[in-house]
């Protein structure tokens, strides 16, 4: 059950983490990446900002553990540089999309 004040998040392949509380990131990122994968958006940009690097490091630690993540790296300078991370997701298994295992 979602909180009453929850705002639907557009699943468009770009997630700006500035507007979320750090404690929400551990659930938000996996859910968002899964939604992107289902929509066929396999390259996602996570915007964490440059700051002290704590959020970036936390995001990277989380990405290392997610089985749907094929790879990730800091964005090129024209796409946010070290203030954003580009995530490459694995394609969804065809058996999953048909609802069979």
Q: What is the pTM of this model?
A: 0.84
Dist CA 54 CA 76 (whole Å)? 20
pLDDT for res 3: 53
Dist CA 14 CA 69 (whole Å)? 15
Distant-in-sequence contacts of 78-82, Cβ < 8 A, 24+ apart: 79/45, 80/45, 80/47, 81/50, 82/50, 82/56
Dist CA 47 CA 60 (whole Å)? 12
Please check the confidence at residue 1 and state whether its pLDDT lies above 60: no
Q: Which position has the higher pLDDT, 101 or 86?
A: 86
What structural domains and CATH numbers belong to the chain? 14-98 (3.30.1370.110)
Tokens representing 70? 């094929």
For the stretch 46-90, pLDDT in tens is 999 999 999 999 999 999 999 999 999 999 999 999 999 999 999
Please check the confidence at residue 100 and state whether its pLDDT lies above 50: no
């Amino acid at each position: 059950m979602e909180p009453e004040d929850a705002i639907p998040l557009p699943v468009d392949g770009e997630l700006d983490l500035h507007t979320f509380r750090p404690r929400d990131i551990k659930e938000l990122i996996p859910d968002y990446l899964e939604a992107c994968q289902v929509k066929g958006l396999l390259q996602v940009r996570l915007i964490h900002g440059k700051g002290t690097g704590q959020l970036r490091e936390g995001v990277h630690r989380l990405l290392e553990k997610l089985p749907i993540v094929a790879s990730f790296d800091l964005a090129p300078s024209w796409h946010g540089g070290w203030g954003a991370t580009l995530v490459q997701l694995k394609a969804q298994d065809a058996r999953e999309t048909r609802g069979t295992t």
